Amino acid sequence: MNVDQHIKVAQWHLEQARLHNVSDHTCGCPANKHDQRAIDAVEAGIIVEEKACTLDAKEARAES
């Protein structure tokens, strides 16, 4: 994704969180692998720039 696309996805997620916070909505959807990596990074306070799609690379190594 390019920068604009990343920002649009982030804006969408922020708006969903805001809407969920002000309603009785609880989707109960589990986080996918990519989202869980982001959650883990934020909770650990370790957010670094990714130079490549590390999720695909990590999954490829796990399958080897």
- Per-residue pLDDT tens over the stretch 26-56: 666 788 888 898 899 999 999 888 887 766 6
- pLDDT attached to residue 64: 43
Q: 0.75 cut: is pTM over it?
A: no
pLDDT score of 60: 47
Domain that holds residue 38: 3-63
pLDDT at 56: 61
Q: How many domains does the chain have?
A: 1
User: Quick one: how many helices (H) and strands (E) in the chain?
Assistant: 3, 0
> What is the average pLDDT value for the chain, to the nearest integer?
80
Mean pLDDT of 5-34: 85
Contact 37, 55 (CB under 8 A): yes
